[in-house]
Amino acid sequence: MPIPFPFSAVVAQEEMKRSLLMAAIDPSIGGVLVFGDRGTGKSTAIRGLAALLPKMRAADCTYHCDPEASDDYLCEECRTKKAKGTNIKGHQVQVPVVDLPLGATEDRVIGALDLERALTKGEKAFEPGLLARAHRGFLYIDEVNLLEDHLVDSLLDVAASGQNLVEREGLSVRHPARFVLVGSGNPEEGELRPQLQDRFGLSVEVKTPTDLPTRMKVVRLRDEFERDPNAFVEKWKNKDAKVSRQIQKAKKLLPEVEVPDRTLEETAKLCIKLGTDGLRGELTVIRSARALAALQGDKTVTVDHVKTIAVSALRHRLRRDPLDESGSTSRVERAIKELFGE
């Protein structure tokens, strides 16, 4: 398995790194969509995040269920044990980060009949797919805008319900599949389906650095990593460990973080001004602002937290305005300035 580039060594791209950290702290935010130029560290940062995630307690089952979860979040095996009063044993495992390749078949993604057991033993058994492996972790899709429509449909169903239902060859299996969806891509290669885009909590735009010192630093660090990956990772392990501790502290603090009525009111005003559809925009802004507050060690969400994350949470939720040629990022920034000032 290739050694990932250290997350803390990723230069610039602060919005992307902040968004990934917030999604790691609070998975209910709904994932991160990273769109931008090729070679700007999109997949590098996402893969580097995996090494920072604290371990989680998981049951001894195929789907690494949470032993403390309610029945709705357990697989059939764990539900049966719980119903019989059997103690669900657990152990510490790394949070899964699963890649969904563009060429993956539907059977590989959602699961299918275990052909080997069917042929050798005559038994109908389920072979879990990538969605099962990603449960309670991250599902990463590079070039997400090029994903085939039938796979997008499957992802939309699972993202909405948190359950994966597979009915194949006389099999009917339902299992939990709750994960943070992370996608990256280049908008020049095709647009993302609106239904899938709406499922991402945060949307980040990354651009090639234009200042000379930043470009030099990126090239120098990447070259150093490729010449001796092990030595480079060792050099950055303390900084990565510091970020990992920040994530753990923030996850513990998150339930204590409060959202005052004034912050909620200002968030609603911003969404009304921008004309966002539905209330998913407000929910995402509040959840993201709460995660940012926890990351910064604050117990109260302020308007400053909202201002920091509003562009990421709302830029992909705006209707196209034929009378306004400015991009969605500029429209959100303008609305923030008009409502909250500098």
pLDDT in tens, 54-83: 888 999 888 889 888 888 888 888 888 888
Are 183 and 124 found together in one domain? yes
Range of the domain at 44: 7-55+94-206
> 166 or 58, which is more confident?
58
Classify 136 as helix, strand or coil.
Answer: coil
Residue 149 in domain: yes
Share of the chain above pLDDT 70, in %: 93
Are 27 and 148 found together in one domain? yes
Are 182 and 297 found together in one domain? no
Report CA Rg, the chain.
21
Residue 167 in domain: yes
Which of the residues are catalytic?
Answer: 280
Q: How many CB atoms lie within 10 A of CB 300?
A: 13
Residue 158 clears pLDDT 80, i.e. is over it: yes
Paired strand residues for 203? 33
Are 188 and 268 found together in one domain? no
Residue 325: what pLDDT? 46
Residue 7: what pLDDT? 93
Give me 231's structure tokens: 């030595």
The last residue of a domain, from among 206, 232, 265: 206
Are 32 and 109 found together in one domain? yes
Are 280 and 159 found together in one domain? no
Number of domains the chain is built from: 2
Mean pLDDT (whole number) for 264-281: 90
The last residue of a domain, from among 206, 225, 245: 206
Mean pLDDT (whole number) for 182-197: 84
CATH of the domain at 35: 3.40.50.300
Are 262 and 172 found together in one domain? no
Q: How many CB atoms lie within 10 A of CB 167?
A: 9
This prediction's pTM:
0.89
Are 191 and 285 found together in one domain? no
Residue 300: DSSP 8-state = B
CATH of the domain at 313: 1.10.8.80
Confidence class of residue 278 from pLDDT cuts 50, 70 and 90? Answer: confident
For 116, counting Cβ atoms within 10 Å of its Cβ (0-12 exposed, 13-18 middle, 19+ buried), the class is exposed
Q: Distance (Å, rounded) from C-alpha 175 to C-alpha 188?
A: 36
pLDDT in tens, 300-342: 999 999 999 999 999 988 876 544 445 788 889 999 999 887 6
The last residue of a domain, from among 140, 173, 206: 206
pLDDT in tens, 71-119: 888 888 888 888 888 888 888 988 888 989 888 888 889 887 675 665 5
Are 15 and 123 found together in one domain? yes
Are 304 and 174 found together in one domain? no
